[in-house]
Amino acid sequence: MTILFTILLHWFTVLPLPISKTTTDSIKITDFTKAFEDLNTLPASFLVTNNISYNAEGGHLQGIQLYKDHTAYLSGSSEDLSYMVKMELGEQSKVVSIDTLMKAPLRHAGGFQIFDQYLAVGIEDNKKRNLAYLQVYNLEAENPFDKPIYTIERKGDYERVTAGAVGITAFQGQVLILVANWDSRVLDFYSCPEQDFYAGKGKFTFKSAIEVKGPSRTKWSDPYWLSYQNLNLFSDQKDQLYMVGTAKNDEGEQVADLFHLQLASSSAKITKINSKVFDTNTSVDFKAAAGLNIAVSGSLILAAAPYHLEKNTTINLFTTSAPKSTTWKTIQEWPSPDARQAAAATEQHVFAINNHSISKYNRSSGELIASKSYPNTKHLNSGFLSEGLLYCAHSNYPNQPDSSSIRLIDPKTLALKQTINLGKSEGSLTWIVKNKGHWYALFAYYGENNHLTYLARMNDNWEILQKWTFPESVIEEMGKMSISGGVAWKEGFLVTGHDEKILYYVTLPKNGEILNFMQQYEAPFTGQGIALDPFTGGLIGINRADKKVIAAQFRP
């Protein structure tokens, strides 16, 4: 039987409805605090295509959870209805369905959680803010969102009874449901005997509430409580109860906070014990949608999404530990005869860079928009978009003595707007990027002198402030060639060689003049110039032999 609860703050009316019986086992982590600490802050990325039309005006995505690792559910709000998106993640990630949950005024489906095969979500009237429904759905049902198996109605004071974030887990023989009200100021907990829940005859009763402003924070790891968009509940094999909240802090950082909960006593207690900052792709935002999951393998996976579901949407996954073998995988290709030296991209276009010409393509259709050659140009090496211009590194390689310049191209028309002449240079300029207020430029040496290749920090007058050479282990991989491409990435730089399908991750040393080699990754690019892709949050580069521009994302 389904139990429908009508809740006016803390009193209940119970109405029975039919429900099918299901029984499955849940996974518990041995030590949840350690698993949380081990979460990698660097994401794997999936570009998900969507060909389903729907009206999301007046709202945005609110929560995300994984189910059986390769399926993602995302809750959303709009002016007219609340909805749930289902995605399949893999080599060809796509949206497979968008289901209506409830219609206006119950237009706002907030942060949610999947426990076992059950999805618990709060749906509220986000305008009057005096009515909300907590719905529990069975994802193994034929049409899971046609009818919830449990419903809790919350009616009452403005904002007090809203349900912006919902968590669910099993703990000490009970199924616990957490409901956070507007801005997560109050946390309400409901419980149901676990056996009754699975048998379909459960009765949820109010257990306790936590007023966030009330508890002392002297024992917290830090005193900050954020406006959490999602709050997820977990228990581990040590019989401890935890809550993880995701949000964006005042500094613009993407944050997941870990709390320990004590609900057994007459006075419920909450203690913050850890906080982690995550590096998301450009569009992904914890203020929109992020959620923690336990994978089938028993490890943690943190998923995150942007504000809106687009035709192509980036999903980030943060795993418990860094994968042993990580790669950058192709997600899209564009054939181009100019894919000889480098590539760059905007959200609408990709650019193929040749020695002395550039071609511009519509990234959706692959149509050639424009192509332009540049007189008195010897060797364009890379492209970096900044403040509406494409900064192309240029050198006279293989001529001697070395001479370098920067060609500023208008990405709209491909017209040459300015040439910054660096004159005679120590090495050939192969790429430039701007990061944290400074320009960084790579000057390459070749042959027996390629160990002299260096990364330079420069000011806005293009004067070298500091320089670093590369570790011998990286230079040995270059043969007689050198570092050809690079981007600012995470805490350092991703760089490429001339031919091999490898990316090298290096960071600046605290002391000394040799870069730190951190890790290398497989990649679809055959060396040469690469750039950050603002559309996917990944990289754009080329395969010179196949004459293709390639977009790639980071995958474990």
User: Could you tell me the CATH number of the domain that includes residue 297?
Assistant: 2.115.10
pLDDT at 8 over 80: no
Q: If you count them, how many residues does the chain have?
A: 556
Question: What does the pLDDT read at residue 490?
Answer: 83
Report the C-alpha gap between 553 and 364 in whole angstroms.
17
Count the alpha carbons within 13 Å of 62 in the hemisphere toward its beta carbon: 28
- Same domain, yes or no: 485 and 336: yes
The answer to whether residue 22 sits within a structural domain is no
- Same domain, yes or no: 158 and 262: yes
Question: What does the pLDDT read at residue 5?
Answer: 30
pLDDT at 471 over 60: yes
Report whether 336 contacts 548 (CB < 8 A): yes
Report the C-alpha gap between 326 and 371 in whole angstroms.
35
DSSP H/E element including 383: strand 379-386
Per-residue confidence at 231, pLDDT binned at 50, 70, 90? very high
The answer to whether residue 71 sits within a structural domain is yes
Report the C-alpha gap between 451 and 477 in whole angstroms.
11
Tell me how many domains the chain contains: 2
Question: What does the pLDDT read at residue 36?
Answer: 96
State the virtual CA torsion across 191, 194, 200, 206 in degrees, nearest 10: -10
Name the domain boundary from 322, 342, 364: 322
- Same domain, yes or no: 318 and 385: no
- Same domain, yes or no: 380 and 260: no
Question: What does the pLDDT read at residue 12?
Answer: 30
Name the domain boundary from 322, 351, 375: 322
Report the C-alpha gap between 313 and 533 in whole angstroms.
13
The answer to whether residue 263 sits within a structural domain is yes
pLDDT at 13 over 70: no
- pLDDT one-digit tens code per residue, 502-535: 999 999 998 889 999 888 898 999 889 999 999 8
Report the C-alpha gap between 84 and 354 in whole angstroms.
45
Question: What does the pLDDT read at residue 326?
Answer: 64
DSSP H/E element including 428: strand 428-435
Stretch 68-80: mean pLDDT: 94
Tell me the pLDDT of the chain averaged across its residues: 90
Report the C-alpha gap between 81 and 102 in whole angstroms.
6
Report the C-alpha gap between 130 and 299 in whole angstroms.
38
Containing domain of residue 453, as a range? 328-555
Question: What does the pLDDT read at residue 361?
Answer: 98
Question: What does the pLDDT read at residue 108?
Answer: 96
Q: Percent of the chain scored above 70 by pLDDT? A: 93
Report whether 458 contacts 472 (CB < 8 A): no
Q: Percent of the chain scored above 90 by pLDDT? A: 74
Stretch 207-215: mean pLDDT: 83
The answer to whether residue 490 sits within a structural domain is yes
- pLDDT one-digit tens code per residue, 402-420: 899 999 999 999 999 999 9
- pLDDT one-digit tens code per residue, 306-326: 999 998 898 999 998 554 456
Question: What does the pLDDT read at residue 533?
Answer: 94
Question: What does the pLDDT read at residue 50?
Answer: 94
- pLDDT one-digit tens code per residue, 17-69: 333 333 334 678 889 999 999 998 888 888 899 999 988 999 999 999 999 87
The answer to whether residue 21 sits within a structural domain is no
- Same domain, yes or no: 143 and 227: yes
pLDDT at 392 over 60: yes
pLDDT at 15 over 90: no
Provide φ and ψ at 134, rounded to 5°: -95, 120
Question: What does the pLDDT read at residue 22?
Answer: 36
- Sheet with 464-469, strands from edge to edge, namely 428-435, 438-444, 454-458, 464-469
Stretch 152-174: mean pLDDT: 94
Q: What is the CATH number of the domain that holds 539?
A: 2.40.128.630
Per-residue confidence at 260, pLDDT binned at 50, 70, 90? very high
The answer to whether residue 222 sits within a structural domain is yes
- Same domain, yes or no: 372 and 387: yes
Stretch 281-290: mean pLDDT: 90
Give me the DSSP letters along 95-136.
EEEEEEEEETTS-EEEEEEEETTEEEEEEE-TTT-SEEEEEE
- Same domain, yes or no: 272 and 354: no
Identify how many contiguous H helices and E strands the chain contains and give both numbers.
3, 42
- Same domain, yes or no: 313 and 397: no
- Same domain, yes or no: 227 and 258: yes
Question: What does the pLDDT read at residue 21?
Answer: 35
- Same domain, yes or no: 225 and 338: no
Q: Which distant-in-sequence residues (6+ apart) come within 8 Å of 126 by Cβ?
A: 77, 107, 108, 162
Q: Model-level pTM greater than 0.85?
A: no
pLDDT at 1 over 50: no
Measured in Å, how far apart are the chain's first and last C-alpha atoms?
A: 43
Stretch 132-153: mean pLDDT: 96
282 vs 100: which has the higher pLDDT? 100
- Same domain, yes or no: 287 and 394: no
Measured at the alpha carbon of residue 233, what is the angle toward residues 230 and 238, in degrees to the nearest 5?
Answer: 150
Question: What does the pLDDT read at residue 188?
Answer: 95
Q: Which residue has the tokens 């974030």?
A: 165
- Same domain, yes or no: 473 and 375: yes
Question: What does the pLDDT read at residue 43?
Answer: 85
> HEC states along 63-96?
EEEEECCCEEEEEEECCCEEEEEEEECCCCCEEE
